[in-house]
Amino acid sequence: MKVNRIVKSGFSILSQSKLRTFFMALGIIVGTVALFLSMSFGEGSRQKMMSSIDHMFSKSSVFLVSGGGAMMSGQQSSTDTKLTLATAEALLENVSSLMLYDPLQVIGAIETTYQGKTIEISAYGGTENASVVWNRDVIRGEHLTSKDVSSSARVVLLGTKVAESLFGDQDPIGKQIRLNNTPYEVKGILEVAGLDAVHGLDRDNEVMIPISTMTSRLTNIDYVGALKFLVETNADTEQTVDEMTEFLRGYHKLGDDELNDFRLITPVAVEEMIGTMNETFSVLLPLVALIAMGVGGIVISVLMLMNIKERSMEIGLRKALGARNKDVFVQFLIETSSVSLVGAVTGLGIGFFMLQVFTMHGQAMVAAPETILLSFILPLVIGVLAGILPANKAAKLDPIVTLQA
């Protein structure tokens, strides 16, 4: 029997049993959609997180973090230390490859009021270097200046969502809001930053004030949680970290047997950590999809075995008319593969539609070429594997026995 006749015959039989064909394809469709969406979600999340990392942790930057706990390198830190701006200035003077710094000090929930409307937001303390160090300028108004910092000025920069929540369509520049019932003049509107994928915080729902204002008027402490330093472009970041470590250990008067009371974090360490998290995430979700697809393959195999029993007379007649075992085997294998092909194409179509819907609602999803290829090829492979047992059973049927039944 010619291959084209076998294919036509297989599709004809499948079209005559629409309900059975639908149930055989359903598991493959569900598995394909789940695999496609999970891999697209994983890739979208990875790209979004790496974009956030690149924005916060530029290649030429180092974070100096206060306190104990485990470093990303695995080393342990000892008791907490209080980092100050004086520490930052001392590092700039003694480590030649360091250029600029800005502190990272935040108050998690602070009441912000304008004309009787109150919302809770995060407040950050910064210096005149913040726009360069954090790569985030203002879209309206002015950024913080050295005068604002030296005078502990009561000025504030608003995130776009804070500005929208408090002022609507009004221009906030020059107006006064209250932070914890203390008046601050709105000096500028910060650029849109979106969601911080590392911490899950909405960076547009925050405000920035001079660090000196924060420490003297809001926190009543003169130390900060962390400092971000920019390193000269051509400098060796790891060597800079070594020099900072040596200086800080002396600056904090740590003995040879004492652990560091600070942490130095580089973009490489952060990317390695994120990469490890993504590897775990990228394996678990597709695994669930593969299980669903595997169940679909089992359903195809079971239904095809039932189908062979019902079609035993047809198989016997074909073999009696000269069809070889190979012809029968290929016919049933093509039938199961065809079901998987239809399931894969349908699943991909549904997957692309759902991806567009999720993307329109702000979910980061990216259909990489390897995702599309795998979501198409894998169902076909499962279809072939699921069809081997039924096809082999059909090929071995004895025509004499089947025709006498």
Q: Do 48 and 145 lie in a common domain?
A: no
Q: Name the domain boundary from 226, 244, 265.
A: 265
**Looking at residue 13, what is its pLDDT?**
55
Q: Do 322 and 369 lie in a common domain?
A: yes
CA-based angle 124:129:131, to the nearest 5?
Answer: 70
**Looking at residue 327, what is its pLDDT?**
75
**Looking at residue 247, what is its pLDDT?**
93
Q: Do 296 and 222 lie in a common domain?
A: no
**Looking at residue 279, what is its pLDDT?**
64
Query: In Å, how far are 50, 144, 151, 155 from 147, measured between CA atoms?
Result: 35, 8, 6, 11
Please count the structural domains in the chain. Answer: 2
CA atoms within 13 A on the CB side of 100: 14
Q: Do 13 and 102 lie in a common domain?
A: no
List the structure tokens of 169.
Answer: 């369509």
pLDDT in tens, 190-229: 999 876 655 557 888 999 999 999 998 888 888 888 999 9
Q: Do 73 and 147 lie in a common domain?
A: yes
Over 134-200, what HEC string results?
Answer: CCCCEEEECCCCHHHHHCCCCEEEECHHHHHHHHCCCCCCCCEEEECCEEEEEEEEECCCCEECCCC
* Pair type for strands 201-202 and 206-210: unpaired
| pTM, 2 dp | 0.62
**Looking at residue 7, what is its pLDDT?**
53
Q: Name the domain boundary from 265, 287, 304.
A: 265
**Looking at residue 280, what is its pLDDT?**
61
pLDDT in tens, 45-69: 777 766 666 666 666 889 898 875 4
Q: Distance between CA atoms of 350 and 328, rounded to whole angstroms?
A: 33
Q: Do 252 and 351 lie in a common domain?
A: no
Q: Do 278 and 230 lie in a common domain?
A: no
Q: Distance between CA atoms of 404 and 38, rounded to whole angstroms?
A: 51
List the structure tokens of 62.
Answer: 């180092």
**Looking at residue 159, what is its pLDDT?**
94
**C-beta atoms surrounding 92 within 10 Å:** 14
Q: Do 231 and 284 lie in a common domain?
A: no
**Looking at residue 133, what is its pLDDT?**
92
Q: Do 318 and 233 lie in a common domain?
A: no
Q: Do 197 and 298 lie in a common domain?
A: no
Q: Which domain holds residue 396?
A: 3-52+272-404
Q: Do 127 and 27 lie in a common domain?
A: no
Q: Name the domain boundary from 196, 231, 265.
A: 265
Question: Contact, 122 vs 210, CB < 8 A?
Answer: no
Mean pLDDT per 10-residue segment, the chain (405 residues):
54 62 81 85 73 66 73 39 86 94 89 91 93 92 95 96 93 94 95 70 89 90 89 88 92 86 80 63 70 79 77 73 76 81 89 90 81 86 83 73 59
Q: Do 287 and 382 lie in a common domain?
A: yes
Q: Distance between CA atoms of 351 and 376, rounded to whole angstroms?
A: 11
DSSP of 100-117, one letter per residue? EEEEEEEEEEEEEEETTE
**Looking at residue 161, what is its pLDDT?**
94
> Is the torsion defined by CA of 346, 352, 357, 363 positive or negative?
positive
